[in-house]
């Protein structure tokens, strides 16, 4: 349930403008400091959980852990605390942009260079979090921010670390079948806890979605999505587009392996595979590099003018 606090003063110092994302533990809002007018992003713990000592401790520990990660692809926590009534909150760096989900709803498929660049950046951010002992646990296009920089380039920012995935959240959240599309097969029974390899799988789904224009497994019910997630192979990317080289699909399929042992064994390895493909011999990006017209570099940036993915 989203709290109606937009337009209100929070913690006696933040003017809340609008909600950025609903989350199981605490929603994210765009806000401004009431006195300095400095824009920030606030994560505010849900009011109904504020009196739950275990949940409040979890919120604070997550904020503390994220504050210790310094990586350009992770949305940093700059401060955290509690209101006079005891409601925990965290202040995050302010960035301008949109969630990847918003961009994909508007634009559908994206150029493979853009899809790989976003995924490589996200994998690098995940690797930094994993090295710090923090698992995302619920990675999807809704908690990947695409930030548009002043020079026209873009930065990827991961956020909402530690939130419960739909399997773990169960009846505590609104059940949307599509949300289960990002959950690794080994988590679908609820018997296993998220780890680095389940994060790799979720990022594989995100990469597939950017390339295909849809997630690999869909259904009208959560049970249908879960069944396909655990039993079916993903539809080939060639069913959705014809402009991908034969080397693209194996990278995606390895991230989406049902058996965790068959996936990339770290987010860093996933990032390296994408980097290697981008510079690999025989690829259009590599062959173009020789004449000073590197497509990989030339097409990495999002269009800041239209605030959308480039079309070409």
CATH of residue 169's domain is 1.10.510.10
Confidence of residue 170 (pLDDT cuts 50, 70, 90): low
Asked if residue 306 belongs to a domain, the reply is no
pLDDT of residue 288: 34
DSSP code at position 3 = -
What sign does the dihedral 148-241-210-124 (CA atoms) show? negative
CA distance 307 to 305: 6
State residue 189's pLDDT score.
83
255 compared with 52, residue with greater pLDDT: 255
Residue 287's pLDDT band, with cuts at 50, 70 and 90, is very low
Orientation angle between helical segments 267-279 and 248-255, nearest 10 degrees: 180
Task: Give the model's confidence band at 295: pLDDT under 50 very low, under 70 low, under 90 confident, else very high.
Answer: very low
Query: Are 56 and 156 members of one domain?
Result: no
Residue-level pLDDT at 301: 36
Q: Which of 28, 90, 45 is nearest to 64 (CA)?
A: 90
Q: Could you tell me the CATH number of the domain that includes residue 14?
A: 3.30.200.20
The sign of the dihedral angle between the CA atoms of 223, 226, 231, 237 is positive
- Average pLDDT in the 199-221 region? 96
pLDDT at 281: 42
User: How many CA atoms lie less than 13 Å away from 16 in the CB half-sphere?
Assistant: 21
Q: Indicate if 142 and 286 belong to the same structural domain.
A: yes
d(CA 28, CA 16): 10
C-alpha closest to that of 28 among 109, 101, 90, 111: 90
Residue-wise over 239-257: b if at least 16 C-beta within 10 A, else e? eeeeebeeebbebbbbbbb
Domain-embedded: residue 308: no
Q: What does the alpha-carbon distance between residue 209 and residue 118 come to, in Å, rounded to a whole number?
A: 12
**Which residue is listed with tokens 């920089």?**
149
In the predicted model, what is the mean pLDDT of residues 287-302? Answer: 32
Q: Check whether residue 288 and residue 149 sit in a common domain.
A: yes
Q: At what angle do helices 112-131 and 267-279 cross, to 10 degrees?
A: 150
Q: pTM for this one?
A: 0.85
Q: What is the pLDDT of residue 194?
A: 95
- Ranges 18-27, 69-78, 97-106, 214-223: which has the least confidence: 18-27
Host domain of residue 45: 9-92
Q: What is the pLDDT of residue 61?
A: 93
Residue 205 tokens read as: 């789904």
pLDDT of residue 85 exceeding 60, the answer is yes
Which pLDDT tens digit goes with each residue over 126-149? 999 999 999 999 999 999 999 877
């Amino acid at each position: 349930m989203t709290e109606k606090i937009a337009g209100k003063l929070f913690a006696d110092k933040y003017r809340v403008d609008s909600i950025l994302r609903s989350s199981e533990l605490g929603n994210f809002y765009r806000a401004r400091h009431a006195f300095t007018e400095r824009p920030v992003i606030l994560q505010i713990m849900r009011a109904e959980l504020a009196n739950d000592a275990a949940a409040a401790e979890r919120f604070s520990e997550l904020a503390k852990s994220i504050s210790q990660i310094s990586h350009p692809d992770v949305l940093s926590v700059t401060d955290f605390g509690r209101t006079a009534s005891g409601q925990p909150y965290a202040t995050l760096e302010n960035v301008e942009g949109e969630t990847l989900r918003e961009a994909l709803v508007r634009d559908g498929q994206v150029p493979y260079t853009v899809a790989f660049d976003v995924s490589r950046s996200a994998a690098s951010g995940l690797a930094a979090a994993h090295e710090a002992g923090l698992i995302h646990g619920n990675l999807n296009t809704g908690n990947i921010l695409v930030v548009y920089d002043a020079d026209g380039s873009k930065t990827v920012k991961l956020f909402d670390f530690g939130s419960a995935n739909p399997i773990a959240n169960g009846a505590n959240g609104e059940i949307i079948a599509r949300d289960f599309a990002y959950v690794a097969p080994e988590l679908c029974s609820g018997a296993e806890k998220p780890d680095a390899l389940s994060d790799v799988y979720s990022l594989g789904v995100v990469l597939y979605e950017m390339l295909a224009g849809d997630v690999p497994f869909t259904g009208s019910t959560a049970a249908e999505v879960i069944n396909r997630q655990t039993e079916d192979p993903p539809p080939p990317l060639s069913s959705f587009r014809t402009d991908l080289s034969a080397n693209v699909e194996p990278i995606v399929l390895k991230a989406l392996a049902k058996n965790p042992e068959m996936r990339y064994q770290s987010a860093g390895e996933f990032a390296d595979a994408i980097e290697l493909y981008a510079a690999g011999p025989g690829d259009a990006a590599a062959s173009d590099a020789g004449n000073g017209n590197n497509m990989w570099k030339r097409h990495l940036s999002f269009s800041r003018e239209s605030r959308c993915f480039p079309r070409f």
